[in-house]
Structure 1
Amino acid sequence: MTTEQHNRDMEPLNPNTDEMEIDLLDIVRKIIGIRKTLYKAAVAGAVIGLIVGFSIPRKYTVTVTLSPEMGDSKGNGGLAGLAASFLGSGASMGTDGSDALNAALSSDIVSSTPFLLDLLDMQVPSPDKDGEETDFSTYLDNQSSPWWSYVLGMPGMIIGGIRDLLSSDKEPAAEKSGLIVLTQEESDKIESLKKNISAAMDKKTAITNISVTLQDPKVTAVVADSVVRKLQECIIGYRTSKAKDDCAYLEKLYKDRQQEYYNAQKKYADYVDTHDNLILQSVRAEQERLQNDMSLAYQVYSQVANQLQMARAKVQEEKPVFAVVEPAVVPLRPSGMGKKMYILAFMFLAVFATMGWMLLGKDLLHRLRNF
């Protein structure tokens, strides 16, 4: 009785299962029926993938890994603290290490316009002539592009040419502090570099990865190494700029106070020499006053000298240390998708697009027309 009841409970599910099996078999039969069309679609997709694969130039990627020293609170440690211990507790220059520009902003620094603009003037190996060099801007002009980029860019080139013909003579660039005036060619190159040069930092480990992608392996490695060096110079320049300014100011102040002390010393010596045999009270008072002026000038001169030594030590202390974990290595294989992957991808897309159209698209279009 229990078995019969169970069978009765399962009977309503059988028609749906049979219908599903029939639908799957029907779909399989339809796919088999259009197999010749799918073969043609696969061949067409392979041809398109082959064309696309050969049209897209090969690119190489070089990644440099840095472990930079992060700005932290140094207090009286380092060279400045050592100088303070020798010069006395009164000679101190507080440093909190909180920099507005540090390794955490590597990504923004590398993608900034001034940084990339400086890269255009650097020398790189010439891909066409062994042993010769060319500037990076000229190298970018000679990079190849897919044929469809020229087709898509043709309207813009025509409009730009007409605009140049109709426009008046170019006005001289305004010379203002902090103002950067770029030509259209320079702007296009910088936008391209922003896509091909990147920096990413791991906030937990402070490891910074700098990646450069270009079409020549040697040029890619040279540019990656140059980006790392310029990034280091940029961060070091900022981290030490305040200390260098303080040091330059103290150098000038030191010379001024030194000259004041020498002048006070000379006045005192001259007065003592000319009034050596006089015992008047007024002479003693003037002599004491000049001696006090000389002592005060010496105290100020000595304090400035101590601060100058502290500032010189701080310049060296503020220089961050960058450990290159993985240097720039000339890549042996191109990055990105290879020609085989393009062929397989387009074959896959062509087969499934044709299958979807033959099995669903036609019926859907027919229903929409009859609606």
Structure 2
Amino acid sequence: MTINKEQDQLQIIKDDEIDLIALVKTIWNGRKTIYYSVGIAVFIGLLIAFTSPAKYRAYCTLIPSEEKQGGSLGNLGAIAGMAGINIGSMMGGTSGIPAEIYPQVVNSYPFKKEMVHQKFHFTEYVEPVSLYEYAVADTLETFGSKVIKYTILLPWTIKDALLFKDEKELDLPDYGVLNLSEEELLAMAAVEEVIVVEVDKKTGLINVSAEVGEPVLVAQLVQKAVELLQDYIIKYKTKQAREHLEFVQGQYNDKKKQYEFAQSSFYNYKDKHRNMVTERVDLEFQRLSDEYDMASTIYKGLAQQLEQAKITVNEQTPAFTILEPAKVPIEKSAPNKKVIIVVSIILGSFIGIGVIFGRLILNNLKQSL
């Protein structure tokens, strides 16, 4: 029987062509090997499926605002659009920012640093804690590690303590750049790994998602990420308008005090010298009247500018539409036991077939030698 099997295996390739019947026979004769391989792969897959930590996924879909200015172009803009020319963008009429920038915003250091200091509800804590505090608590030494540190590793502990003391005594200059602690870097790396922003180029929709081991926490992470993202875009869009508003507001406050002082001085003087008619009184009255009129004119002009600046900030503030809000997930997103089992079966089958052909190659080499 063994000789027949070897003869069938040796006749798989005939005249540089593959004999499918001989190939199927070889695989069928080695089916026990495939069964063993599949069984081992499925066993390993079950171990992975039931020992891997559970993860939950939440997401939020939003529509960014695409405000357009310069609507007075009318039919000219429509005709140019048919020709593939965007006159609005050429004239600076597009007030929205490209959706492709959103993932870069979420992965930027300012965003991640602000994110790690936001407080969230963890199942391990009664009160809300930040990701930074969670990272610090996770890096605290256990009792066993402290015993090893001050017994077996005592020389290295003393060495590290002396080096740290020298570094601490060294007065390093402030270069005005970001100086992040190790815990902050760990928390920021976790944020970058967990929170994902995807942009659909066809529809323009922005999907913010996250996947962690706690269902309530993952919904909080997505919601807070969307809020910070909206705040960042709003600040970016209205930066110039807000700076102008702050300047006008400061000027308005100063001129308001001057106007109220000039008004009070003018009417007080007018009441005190109501029945007096002299050239000196008339001169002082005219001077105070001119100061009051000038202060009133400037004050009223700044009041109009202030209202216009407020309107401009409101107009330039982008509005976001939440198409799908973040919800607390009920079902686990990982591990997917069905997928793991299917992949294990496929992988085990390929490994078994590989072992069969590996044996065939070894037999051919032995016979050729």
TM-score (norm 2): 0.68
SS of 2:221 mapped into structure 1: helix
| CA drift at 1:29 | 1.8
Mind listing any 5+ residue stretches in structure 1 that lack a counterpart? 1-16, 77-94, 144-157
- CA apart distance, 1:64: 0.5
Shift of 1:63: 1.0
Instruction: Give secondary structure in 2 for the equivalent of 1:243.
Output: helix
**Aligned partner (choices 23, 40, 43) of residue 39 of structure 2:** 43
For the structure 1 residues 346 and 185, does the alpha-carbon distance in structure 2 shift closer, same or farther, using more than 3 Å as the test? farther
* Whole-angstrom distance in 1 between the partners of 2:60 and 2:175: 36
* CA distance in 2 between partners of 1:21 and 1:233 (Å): 66
CA separation of 1:74 and 1:289: change in aligned 2, threshold 3 A:
farther
Q: By how many angstroms is 1:238 displaced?
A: 3.1
1:66 and 1:207 in contact (8 A); partners too: yes
Q: What is the CA distance between 1:276 and its match in structure 2?
A: 3.9
Shift in CA distance, 262/349, structure 1 to aligned 2, threshold 3 Å: closer
- Alpha-carbon distance in 2 for matches of 1:19, 1:366: 16
CA deviation profile, 1:282-340 (whole Å, cap 9, x unmatched): x87x9878766654444333322210121122333333222211111111222245233
- Cα 1:187–1:369 change in 2 (3 A) is farther
Compared with structure 1, are the counterparts of its residues 49 and 232 closer, same or farther at alpha carbon in structure 2 (3 Å cutoff)?
A: same
CA distance in 2, matches of 1:365, 1:99: 72
Give the whole-Å Cα distance in 1 for the aligned partners of 2:317 and 2:244.
15
Counterpart of 1:56 in structure 2: which amino acid?
A: S
Counterparts in 2 of 1:174 and 1:118: CA distance versus 1, 3 Å: farther
- Quickly say closer, same or farther: Cα 1:361–1:192, change in 2 above 3 A: farther
* Alignment size in residue pairs: 315
> Unaligned 5+ residue runs, structure 2?
1-12, 73-90, 139-152
What's the counterpart of residue 345 of structure 2?
347
1:233–1:40 CA distance, 2 compared to 1 (3 A): same
Q: Counterpart in 2 of 1:84? A: none
Indicate which of 330, 333, 338 corresponds to 1:332: 330
Counterparts of 1:328 and 1:69, CA distance in 2: 19
Task: Name the % identity.
Answer: 26
Aligned counterpart, 1:315: 313
The whole-number CA distance in structure 2 between the counterparts of 1:98 and 1:164 is: 57
Task: State whether structure 2 residue 171 is matched by structure 1 residue 183.
Answer: no
**Would the aligned equivalents of 1:63 and 1:210 in 2 still touch at CA under 8 Å?**
yes
1:211 Cα offset (Å): 0.5
- 1:221 offset after TM fit, Å? 0.9
* Aligned counterparts, 1:111-130, within 5 A: 111-128=107-124
Given that residues 250 and 307 in structure 1 are in contact (C-alpha distance below 8 angstroms), is that contact kept between their aligned partners in structure 2? yes
Residue 24 (structure 2) pairs with residue 28 (structure 1): yes
How much does 1:112 deviate?
Answer: 1.7
1:47-92 Cα deviation digits (max 9, x unpaired)? 221222234322111110112223432789xxxxxxxxxxxxxxxx
Q: Which residue of 2 aligns with 1:106?
A: 102
Q: Distance in 2 between matches of 1:189 and 1:362?
A: 53
Report deviation, 1:22: 7.6
Amino acid at match of 1:135: S
Deviates more, 1:195-204 or 1:205-214: 195-204
Q: Secondary structure at the match of 2:313?
A: helix
Q: Within 5 Å, give how 1:9-20 maps onto structure 2.
A: none
Distance 1:180 1:369, change over 3 A: farther
The counterpart of 1:301, out of the listed 293, 299, 302, is 299
**One-letter code aligned to 2:27:** I
CA distance in 1, matches of 2:269, 2:62: 63
User: Alpha carbon RMSD of aligned pairs, Å?
Assistant: 4.3
Of 201, 208, 212, which residue of structure 1 is paired with 2:199? 201
Mapped contact 2:34–2:351 kept (Cα < 8 A): no
